[in-house]
Amino acid sequence: MIKVLNTMEKIPKVGIITGWAEEIKPIDEEGINVDFILRKPFKHAELAKHINELFGAGSK
């Protein structure tokens, strides 16, 4: 899904929230571009921080 999103003319912001406990293989090698990855459990403040960084002042 992320690979398809990355081919769009206007690429949306993408974050991954995962419960996967294992190490995630480097997604850069797969040509997958995401803006952030959060592992469960997470605090709402962590999610808010990532969203604010993406859509805050100076974002495109």
Structure confidence at residue 58 as a pLDDT band (50, 70, 90):
low
- Chain segment 15-41, per-residue pLDDT in tens: 989 988 676 666 666 667 889 989 999
Is pLDDT of 7 > 70?
A: yes
Is pLDDT of 60 > 60?
A: no
What is the residue extent of each domain of the chain?
A: 2-18+31-55
**pTM for this structure?**
0.68
Contact (CB, 8 A) for 17 and 49: no
* Residue 22, CA distances (Å) to 1, 19, 56, 60 in order: 21, 9, 31, 33
d(CA 21, CA 40): 9
Is pLDDT of 42 > 70?
A: yes
Share of the chain above pLDDT 70, in %: 75
